[in-house]
Structure 1
Amino acid sequence: MQFIAGIESELEKRSYGLLLQVVPTLDVELATYRTWRAARRVDGVVCVDPRIDDPRVALLSEPDALPAVVVGDPTLANGLMNVWTDDAAAIRESVRYLHAVGHRRIARVAGVEGYGHTLIRDDAFRDETERLGVRGYVARTDYTPDQGAAATRSLLTSGEADRPTAFIYDNDVMALAGLGVASELGVRVPDELSIIAWDDSPLCAATYPRLSALSHDVTRYGAHVARRLFDAVDGKPKASFLDSTPVLRPRGTTAPVPAR
């Protein structure tokens, strides 16, 4: 909602409205783009969560396609106008921070494998844990609290010798679910387990202890995307724009590994 609010803040300046249409499948989304293109019902499109070899990006790259901006890494945008955050750098910072305070078994509770940003985060996590000699675990989920909780429970009950001492979650709701699982299992946070959430939000500040999180200004990000969409609508040259690198905000769920 913060991202959408940022988009609308720029649309309002030009008296444009936001059409938000929920679709059940990728095929329906592609059909919707074709309908919009044929009828010229919209002036431009914001494409979010690009996949590897995304057919939406291919469709929006056609000569008569609607003006579009891709919210994602330049490697996923096929030369379209795009705005992105440096997810790889953020993951590397998180792993380095946890390593610096003594963690040597770090888990990544990751999202859907087909998304481009998931692959980018996976690669950065694997590279950084290998570089530092840290044991890294990756658990795959669909971003929901239920799967975040299940992944956390599975890793925390794998035996004390193999149990991760730190978790990095791909969103805030899974991190919150993981915090609940740790409490359920009697694992103290942050004394015995450190937790970092992606996408800092009011939820992160409302928990106890407050969730450490990777933070960037999501509302500003949405506004930046909208400005670049107007560039595309106005026919300006396609380009790639780094909006920000999420910054780690340590709070109450990260701490040094206790001495044994």
Structure 2
Amino acid sequence: MNHDSSAAPPAARVVSTHSVFGAPCWVSLTSRDLDATQGFYSAVLGWRWRKAKLGEHFRIALAGDVPVAGIAAVAGMWQTAVAWTPYFAVPSADDAASRTRERGGTVAVGPLSLPPGRAALLADRDGATFGVWEGELVGNWEVWRQAAPAFVRLHTRDAFDSAIFYGEILDWASGKPGCVEVHYEGGEVVLRSGGDVVARIVSGALEAAPDPTIRPHWQIHFSVSDVAGCAREAERHGGSVLRKAIDEAVLRDADGAQFTVTSRPVR
């Protein structure tokens, strides 16, 4: 499990999880080496960095001036996995944690009070790790959505079962103002907020396998202007390219964390 207390988004000014909920609102990474992690993602994604309030092992990644992700160099210290984790906006972290337990999932950490909100790290029935965040969101949520991941995708064994599980926890398709809409498009369950795709769920192989591309997990897709350039920089800075196409590449950083770079749509 990825016990990542860098989950808490930095102080916000605009939108709260009571008006926007069920959609991804933050992503965080646990790593082993803070300097190496910062160097890798600066080269691959062009990020800058600022200190986080949680201590010397934590940093906030900036795309331009927009906070887009949290980094926690605690994997070795806490003996946790090196991985990216998405956090979903919820009106109540305590309710989300309770619903997760009731439906056969796991509560790994929290809920914890991390002003200006509360956070919990959870896992679904198949072991895919995700987080929830209650409280103010990072600056302007729409700005974060444009500067940060294009979307997150759950690779799992039964997309429809997973959609029901997460829908009951995160109030997807509840009809409440601000909730996420659920659609079925192109063989995937597609989650939309305000018309934009924010998450996808796809079924993988049924057999258990050590390959993390098959084992149930959430994959973060970062929007970039040059997929090939990101892949080259990943290899130059100690990472690897797992798969590459013209408009998308699955990369592994120097610590072993997987993520995807996806071509930024022309607006």
Task: Report the TM-score when normalising by structure 2.
Answer: 0.26
Q: Which has the higher helix share?
A: 1
- Higher RCO (CA-CA < 8 Å; seq separation 6+): 1
Larger Rg: 1
By percentage of residues, which structure has more strand?
Answer: 2
